[in-house]
Chains A and B, each alone.
Chain A
């Protein structure tokens, strides 16, 4: 068992003894399920109406009517719940003084940061895999294009990982979990707003830079089923940057 595995195992153990993960999972799955249900019900109502008007068999595009709006909504929910999953990572260690144990043990800061990051990724992936029941169930009743859905899940995974890395960094800055949660929520909101700002500035260099920095346009492209290496690169570099920032924040804690 390498030190990273040890940290991951301990984090998962700690996460699942507290009710936080269960509550968040329940809320997340309930909202996502409800949204999917109402979108599906709406789509079938419209299909029936179309059949009555045109008197023909009509099939609506579920990718447009259901999956893309659903992926957008899930992103919004993630922006609120992921800071709650990451807030305890370092803040609690600082509060309970267990940080001293970790930092005086022969393991590296990179191993601590990676272990903590991976533990939340695992919880998040589990959560995400449960939502796959929605396309699987729907595929029994309707046909739709799977490619935007695969890419949509890639987008969700990368988006989640980015938000988690932001939360990881925020948690390393304070010993108060609530502050950590608000801090990461603020960062995420700011990043989101950059995209809107880019849209307002419009088709100029600054506008393009602002839009590039925000996750909105990258996420949107992926859930439309457009695979572009530039978007993947955006997420990977963003995650790497936040990981590095968290590493620096943990290191800085000892120099104070």
Chain B
């Protein structure tokens, strides 16, 4: 459904996207994950035909973005980072305007508007001026705008930013309910979101694709080490150094308090038993010892920090990794 081949985007001398290629099948939900400035928004703007790529080709539903932008635009619903709202219009005036510029025939417009307004939960505010609505409602109006002409491809740039937890769940449910019939790309820097909604994750960093995989496999692939968290009762200034000499420990860091430590251990080597005996023998009072599951967050950090110099073996304070 979406096919991106060797796309490069330069702004003057700065390279925003560097030779990006990926393709997305019909009905898939895919997340773009990356830190701010990684090139997520640029990629989305190129996909929507808002800006042309410097090099490379983009095809959506079989149409080339540069050769037939008209067809591409008809096939896409786009929610930019900032919802594109005319604050002085009411919700229904705004949606009527959007329907018309999306060239929805007038006889379908009313019906589609009713469907979308119900679907996005805007029924209570349809007569109200957008400028008077809360952030959550505005985001929904933005989403309604993208869905209005029932496009097969949806491009959502950070659809849940600025929403409260309940609203986030509602929007996620809405996006999930569109899966199958729609091909959806969304960008996010919330990792839980990618795991919760998406079938595939594309990680972008500094204009390059660092990884493309399912959220679960991505985590597994990057599991080069396991992390243990350890809490003791008494503080011991020498403990940090001592822990580092236990065989199998790669790196030790101190947690938020002087009583908590994080130990990175070699893969496949369970040192919990030795560790327990060691702590007990030092008589500092073992309170807790548990393994930290490697999340997508860790994977993300590992993948996107490859260019930064490696951290010193002993660091204080710091979390896992």
Contact = CB atoms under 8 A, between A and B. Distances in A.
Interface of A: 1, 3, 6-7, 10, 13-14, 17-18, 96-107, 254-256
A217 B89 CA distance: 43
Interface string B1-27: 000000000010000000000000000
Given A1-B100, A101-B145, A256-B11, A106 B51 contact: no
A97 B101 contact: no
6 contacts: A6-B101, A14-B86, A98-B85, A100-B45, A105-B102, A106-B73
A7 B98 CA distance: 10
Interface centre among A1, A13, A256 (most CB of B within 10 A): A13
B150 interface: no
Given A97-B82, A97-B84, A13 B101 contact: no
B87 A96 contact: yes
Given A101-B98, A254-B50, A255-B52, A106 B78 contact: no
Given A100-B78, A104-B78, A254 B101 contact: no
Nearest to B98: A101
A1 B107 CA distance: 12
B75 to A, nearest CB: 10
At the interface, is chain A mostly helix, strand, loop or mixed? helix
Given A1-B106, A105-B101, A254-B51, A100 B84 contact: yes
Interface of B: 11, 45, 48-52, 70, 73-74, 76, 78, 80-89, 93, 97-98, 100-103, 106, 145
Given A10-B86, A97-B84, A106 B74 contact: yes
Contacts of B101: 3, 6-7, 101-102, 105-107
Contacts of B106: 1
Contacts of B74: 106
A97 to B, nearest CB: 4
B116 to A, nearest CB: 15
Contacts of A101: 78, 80, 84, 98, 101, 145
Contacts of A107: 101, 103
Given A3-B100, A10-B89, A105-B101, 10 more contacts: A1-B106, A6-B100, A10-B86, A13-B88, A13-B89, A96-B82, A100-B48, A104-B76, A106-B70, A107-B101
Nearest to A108: B70
Interface centre among A97, A106, A254, A256 (most CB of B within 10 A): A106
A255 B70 contact: no
Nearest to A17: B88
A200 to B, nearest CB: 42
Contact of B51 (A17, A98, A105, A255): A255
A103 B85 contact: no
Given A103-B50, A104-B48, A106-B103, A10 B97 contact: yes
Q: 9 nearest interchain CB pairs?
A: A101-B84, A6-B100, A98-B84, A97-B82, A106-B73, A105-B101, A104-B48, A17-B88, A100-B80
Contact of A3 (B70, B73, B86, B103): B103
Contacts of B45: 100
A101 B82 CA distance: 11
Contacts of A17: 88
Interface centre among B81, B89, B100 (most CB of A within 10 A): B100
